[in-house]
A and B are shown apart, each in its own frame.
Chain A
Amino acid sequence: MTQDAIAGALVLLLLGADAYASFFVAPTEATMGPIQRIFYLHVGSAWTGLTCFLICFIANLLYVFRRRPRWDWLGVASAEVGLAFTTVVLVTGPIWAHPVWGIWWTWDARLTSTFVLWLLYVSYLLLRTLIEEPDRRALFSALFGIFAFLDVPLVFGAIRWWRTQHPQPVIMGGPGSGLQPTMRWVLLFSWVALLGLMTLLLRHRYRLEAMRGELQMIEREVEGA
């Protein structure tokens, strides 16, 4: 229990430091002003979300080939946490865009791809609710998860190509806008802090799923007796 408290405190500290860095250490961006600071949360969440989905992919592969329930638990935990971070990306995008451009959504390449990513993993979780038998649910959602992850680079690639041919305002600055060194450090630190949060959330969600899984197994055993 205290291990959890220490971990939680550490993550809180990291996030606090990150917030401080985002607001006070990073220089104000020339053209966009203070609202640009949300960039550190936006991009950090995007990278963390993708990290979660990578973990999900690996867990899915491990389940298909090893069939141990723990890989299924990790799969659903990482999909949910990944979806949470992806939602943050989708929310911070418009929050940034509105003061700067006056519009909420621009179908910017990265944001659009993130939206599709979000839909894919919502489908993954939806599929899980529609298969009752636990082994079957684990196997078939893992197989879908594998297909979904293989699709991710294709989605991002296609949308980016498409956007270079039909350009639109790019939300977080295109390839041309360089990052000052301080900004780069703050971004990296943001990512580390968010990875810390991700690990914490994953552990808790995994544990919850493990307990649920074991409870279900005991229930079935009792029912069968």
Chain B
Amino acid sequence: MSAPIDGPGIRFDKIDKRYGGLYALRRVSLEIANGECVVLAGRNGSGKTTLLRIAARLVRPTSGTVTFSGEVGSDASRPAPVGFVAHATMVYDELSAEENLLLFGRLLAVRSIAARVAEMLSGLGIYERRGSLVRTFSRGMRQRVAIARALLHQPSVLLLDEPATGLDSVSVAWLARTLKQLRDSGCTMLMSLHGESEISALATRAIRLDAGAIAADSAAGASLRSILSFNATP
């Protein structure tokens, strides 16, 4: 995976999100360069999930736009060219791991789908269980299927919303390794995390959100470590 274009990977332009009178996000403007690995820190309710879901074009902002490099203008009607991992697995329990990946692969028109799916399943260590229904998997294994789903079409942008929640230490280590590989191959990453861990150590940049606005940005001089450690109490 290479970063083909030199320029901002994701641009948030004056993003506002209101729910009734409540501002989940207040005029958030942010530019994330290609290949950056950005960690979003902040308390619960500070707007991290909202920002990620707006980036994924799952939530419509009240005002403002999100643009990805390579797109001309912000075309909110097209799905975002991203991989998205959240707390929910976003895969079908009643289908097998292989069936799930084949389904999403076909929808995304992934080339040589069968080979790609086989490659991902073995890379994630679930090739033997590929025919079993996801419903029979442990939390850790489900998360692997979820990540496979997100990476199927080799997105150059990966969005992760607290991806380590509920994972045991073995799975967290595996996740950290996988994300490191992705980062090193040029994938732009934006993720929200709770506390410090092997995963937060991958960050090249950290941003703290507070009450829907950017409170600190390591790219603007704030200390990356202090942002991440501040995050330790959720």
Contact = CB atoms under 8 A, between A and B. Distances in A.
B19 A216 contact: no
B32 to A, nearest CB: 27
Nearest to B211: A224
Interface residues of B, number: 8
Nearest to A213: B20
A223 B22 contact: yes
A223 B22 CA distance: 8
Interface in A186-225: 216-221, 223-224
Interface in B117-145: none
Describe A's contact surface by its main secondary structure. helix
A135 B19 contact: yes
B19 A218 contact: no
A77 to B, nearest CB: 19
B209 to A, nearest CB: 14
Contacts of A67: 62
Interface string A127-147: 000000111000000000000
Contacts of A223: 22
A150 B19 CA distance: 29
Contacts of A220: 19-22
Contacts of B211: 224
Contacts of B20: 133-135, 216-217, 220
Contacts of B19: 133-135, 220
A223 B211 CA distance: 13
A219 B21 CA distance: 7
Contacts of A218: 21
A218 B23 CA distance: 11
Interface string B95-136: 000000000000000000000000000000000000000000
A12 B23 CA distance: 45
Contacts of A135: 18-20
Interface string B1-37: 0000000000000000011111100000000000000
A136 to B, nearest CB: 9
Nearest to A133: B19
A29 to B, nearest CB: 54
A105 to B, nearest CB: 44
Interface string A66-101: 010000000000000000000000000000000000
Contacts of A224: 21-23, 211
A219 to B, nearest CB: 7
A38 B121 CA distance: 75
A218 B20 CA distance: 9
A218 B18 CA distance: 12
A185 B19 CA distance: 50
Interface in A45-69: 67
Interface string A100-131: 00000000000000000000000000000000
26 contacts: A67-B62, A133-B19, A133-B20, A134-B19, A134-B20, A135-B18, A135-B19, A135-B20, A216-B20, A216-B21, A217-B20, A217-B21, A218-B21, A219-B21, A220-B19, A220-B20, A220-B21, A220-B22, A221-B21, A221-B22, A221-B23, A223-B22, A224-B21, A224-B22, A224-B23, A224-B211
Which 6 residue pairs spanning A and B have beta carbons closest together? A217-B21, A220-B21, A221-B21, A224-B22, A220-B22, A220-B20
Interface of B: 18-23, 62, 211
